[in-house]
Structure 1
């Protein structure tokens, strides 16, 4: 079974290119998925040069000037990008016979959002409180995403792994209001001019949907009891009405058309797109205990139409962030049915906490991926877990029939 290890550019810079690749190859992985474009973060890095690593928005390579010439948006560039770490990694992986995948975070960039607030999502109250969330419907964002995809593909990678190429859920640091899942979903919908226009073009009364969301969420913020239960189309229809559900569903056209543009651009540059759906992370990131609905069935909440994308995208990344091997198998099976059995399904597992507490559990999940028809297992992420946790990978791969 094909496999790859997710690696941050900071890992390679800190530990040395050969050291990282020696360990990855020694674990039996067939390739490296490198963070070519990432978002700002602060991560505990157990074996990093610094044990608390500060990451910044931007690309770890110098973007080709011709791709962004005349565009309003261009990616921030990391301080050491001029040293061409991605080019050095490409050369080293080729010499070792390893695949190289370029992992890029597309529409999550607070640097760009703060510089250009109008390109970020706008909630039902008219506020732009999520500077890191770029709206997939904004024309400038769409041009940026297409150019960024070409830029990553030109690094000579076997595939471009696209993270955050869809809408995101509502995120915040603090709240003393007990928002229910449906209230948070409504609060996270974007009602910028471009989103509302696209919905209206599909026959949706966008202004009525916005007003209803503001009424419901505003009531909860004023002290009304939050909605109970998980977000489903039926529950949302009963809670917020059919116009709101129609508005939420209309977002899939925005995402589908954007992903189609990006996939075509990557193909023209001689690579292929791996569409990374964040639904599995939304459901299980914190504790590895995802809510009952399978990720493939809930992807619509991020504007993702897997049936439509199955006709457009050659490869899909499934974030199987679950402790239970049977749940992993169920998620993989649902994805294969949704996108079509002729599409590649790459399943991302975390070899350590909170999902995996032993080599046996990781082995069971790798076997589950294979039994459910997954084509590849990727492990996230090299710099975030201790070496003994990484050492579970070769046993899991070698014992998989």
Structure 2
């Protein structure tokens, strides 16, 4: 069975290339998915060179001049990129018969957002309050995303695994976030909608009254900030229509055109470099990342909230990645099955599982979830992530893989 283990460049640098790849080969996976372009984070790294690792925005290679030379947005370069860690990985994985995939975070970049606030999401109040979130409607952001996808593909990877190539959520817009106002799920959703000039113009071109949608969002969220009780329950189209009105729902749904067209451009660019695009839908992470207990709505049914149209993308990209962050194997099967029905049978479906906390408490549970994913239509099961899990947790992987 095709499978891969997510790895950070810092893992390899800290433990040694041969040591890491020897361990990964022993787990029985078929490939390595390396973070070629990543975002800011602070991680507990149980077997790393440092037990707490601070990560930064940027790429682990020199941005090609022919791709970024004329662009306004250029990715920051990670420390140690001059050592060409991706080139070393490409050679070493090939020697071991492992595939190499380039994990690429596209539109989450605090460094670029703080330096260029006009390319970030603008909420219904006119605030640029999510500096980590680059808006996929902005022309400069779209040019950057296409160049980044092409640049990672040029590193010789078998695929470019695209994370964050869609709209984000308000809850992931910055670090050390604080809110002492009891916002409900729908208020958080409304506060995360982008009303920049480019988003509003694209919605208007599709027949949506964007200004009415913005005014309604500001009125509703403003009321909650002033003390009105928030609405509870999951965000669904029906509930959102009742809470904020049909124009807001139409505005939210119009964002799928932005995402679909951008993914198409990036996929074409990646293919031109001899690789392929794996589109990661972050909906499963948004629902279950913290605790592995996603609410009842299936991720495939809620992906519209990020501007993701799975049916349209099924015609554009060769592979879709699903973040199945759930404790229960039956829920994993339900989520994977819903994605399979949305994308059709001819597209590769890669399911990402976490072998440890917070949603996998035993080797048996991991095995059950791998089996559930496969029975529901997964073509590959990948595991997240080498540097974040203790060795005894990673040792669950070979027993969970078939054969």
Whether TM-score is above 0.5 comes out as: yes
Matched residue SS, 2:170: coil
Matched, 1:99 2:99: yes
1:350 CA drift (Å) = 0.0
Among 207, 211, 236, which residue is 2:211 paired with?
207
- Stretch deviating more after TM superposition (75-84 or 165-174): 165-174
Q: In structure 2, what is the equivalent of residue 371 of structure 1?
A: 375
Matched, 1:355 2:329: no
Q: In structure 2, what is the equivalent of residue 45 of structure 1?
A: 45
Q: In structure 2, what is the equivalent of residue 122 of structure 1?
A: 122
The 5 Å alignment of 1:1-400 reads: 1-171=1-171, 173-397=177-401, 400=402
Matched residue SS, 2:104: strand
Matched residue SS, 2:43: strand
- In structure 1, distance between residues paired with 2:213 and 2:370: 43
Structure 2 gap ranges (5+): none
Deviations 1:188-246 (A, max 9, x none): 10000000000000000000000000000000000000011110000100110000000
Matched residue SS, 2:352: strand
- In structure 2, distance between residues paired with 1:59 and 1:391: 30
- In structure 1, distance between residues paired with 2:394 and 2:64: 35
1:369 CA drift (Å) = 1.1
1:340 CA drift (Å) = 1.1
Matched residue SS, 1:3: strand
How many equivalent residue pairs? 399
- In structure 1, distance between residues paired with 2:244 and 2:361: 41
TM-score by length of 2: 0.98
- In structure 1, distance between residues paired with 2:371 and 2:79: 41
1:389 CA drift (Å) = 0.2
Deviations 1:95-148 (A, max 9, x none): 110000000000000000011000000000000011110000000000000000
- In structure 2, distance between residues paired with 1:244 and 1:192: 15
1:69 CA drift (Å) = 1.2
**Runs of 4 or more consecutive aligned structure 1 residues displaced over 2 Å after TM superposition:** none
- In structure 2, distance between residues paired with 1:228 and 1:287: 19
Across the aligned residues of Structure 1 and Structure 2, the Cα RMSD in angstroms comes to: 0.6
Deviations 1:256-283 (A, max 9, x none): 0000000000011100000000000000
Matched residue SS, 2:230: coil
Deviations 1:1-28 (A, max 9, x none): 1100000010000000001100000000
TM-score by length of 1: 0.99
- In structure 2, distance between residues paired with 1:66 and 1:151: 10
